[in-house]
Amino acid sequence: MTHFAFAGRCSTEDLQDPETSRQWQLRRARGLVEPRGGEIVVEYFDSGHSRALSWKRRSRGAALLKALSDPERGFDAVVIGEPQRTFYGNQFGNTFPLFVHHGVPLWVPEIGGAIDPENEAHDLVMSVFGGMSKGERNRIKVRTRTAMASQLSVEGRYQGGRPPYGYRLADAGPHPHPGKAAEGKRLHRLEPDPATSHVVPRIFAEFLRGTGLYAIAEGLTRDGIPCPFAHDRARNRHRDSYAWSKSAVHTILDNPRYTGREVGNRQRRREVQLDVEDVTLGHRSKMEWNDPSEWVWSTDEAHTPLIGPEIFSAAQSKRHARRNNTAGVDRKARPINRTYALRGLMRHSLCGRKMQGNYNHGAPHYRFRYTAEYAKSAQLDHPLTVYVRESDVLPKLDEWIARHFSPGRLPNTLRQLHAAQGQERGHESPELTEARQHVAACDRRLAGYRAALDAGSNPVLVTQWINEAQREKSAAEQRLRASRSSQPERQCFSESELTA
């Protein structure tokens, strides 16, 4: 009997059900190998990864490639259920040579068995499927972007996302799609927020009078007006809410939706090479700002304007003039060979924000300039600028490390490190934690039911209990896989691995 590893992939970008996708791909793979005496003994199924990611960057795909070189891998061949889900573009040509090198056959339903590396027709068919996969993804993107642009320009439809500061969401009737309307989904529109809508005209008026971004932020903070993060704490728990920042003022001044018209396509997700020296790693998605000429505007006003279009245009002209005035200023070139031992690790204790590396008098320091971004706030008595010399920190840090990793304290330190990995699960989403606990509870129930069966309890009744627990466990495992796709589980090390 030939032992197979099953490889598959499912993306959650288009609301696919990971378990359903896995089941039908697995069913196709079994339909290919089982009539020929094969058996699938291990699965490498990626959930939540885009097909544009190379195998090396998919968690389970990378594990499969690593297993190919292991003589004790436990399988003789690999089977996939759907080549268009597994290979994208030229991924087959970059991946299949590894299978050939390690002598592991790759089975595909469309080939009817194992791919022959010497067969040009097989190579052509797999290349076509990779091209079809790429074409399908591109067509979906084009259709989606075109439809959204049409809805926005013709209907002025609000297309989701967080409402801009100064607005709130209002009901705009049932969804025009009959299926979504049947599910209770409705359209929304923007309406002025009574608590914040008066702040937006003030910001534009002060800016046009010549007030700088920081001075505007300082005035708003001084007058006790909550910043956007403080106004909407439910969605901004991770952000500071002490004072207005220059970036918040900048964002409001650059948002054309305050003119009453819906504006889309301001940003676009583009794919760029992850490593130009190794194109086999594939691409990564990067959000980039589009040129204003590419923005899509609604034909008519879609909601109540907070400022006139002439005010917005004047503010944009003023901002462009300021940028052009500083564009030709020569700045002193900064050396690029400076190193900081604690780069990205130093934070200020009051606000928790990272400190920047900064050289002073030829020595590395760490600096935090609170007013470079945030206005002074009576709520937080923060120093204007903080400097910490690296040479004052490293000796104390080295002393602390040496003390905890000394031979006498090393066993206790290792135990604490091992226990801390369990505490990391406090960062899991509630859905992931609940699903994990439910699976563990089902396992305990199953163990108890089997013990009761061995003790001579009614087999019909106990079997009914076992079947019910198995169904609950399968449903919990499905939720667990779906939750893990959006929050990959952290790797945990054993005490022996930490000791090594």
Least confident stretch, 67-71, 297-301, 319-323, 368-372: 368-372
The C-alpha atoms of residue 402 and residue 397 are separated, in whole angstroms, by 9
Domain 2-140, CATH number (from 3.40.50.10260, 3.40.50.300, 3.50.50.60, 3.40.50.1390): 3.40.50.1390
Convert the pLDDT of each residue in 19-64 to its tens digit: 888 899 999 999 999 999 999 999 999 887 778 888 888 889 989 9
Convert the pLDDT of each residue in 93-128 to its tens digit: 889 999 999 999 999 999 999 999 999 999 899 989
> Residues with Cβ < 8 Å from 145, sequence gap 6 or more?
265
426 confidence band (pLDDT: 50, 70, 90):
very low
pTM over 0.85: no
CATH number of 167-262+298-326: 3.90.1750
Convert the pLDDT of each residue in 158-197 to its tens digit: 988 889 999 999 998 998 888 888 878 889 999 999 999 9
pLDDT above 90 covers a percentage of the chain that reads 33
Convert the pLDDT of each residue in 248-297 to its tens digit: 999 999 999 999 999 998 888 887 777 777 776 777 778 888 888 899 99
Convert the pLDDT of each residue in 132-163 to its tens digit: 888 888 888 888 889 988 999 998 999 888 89
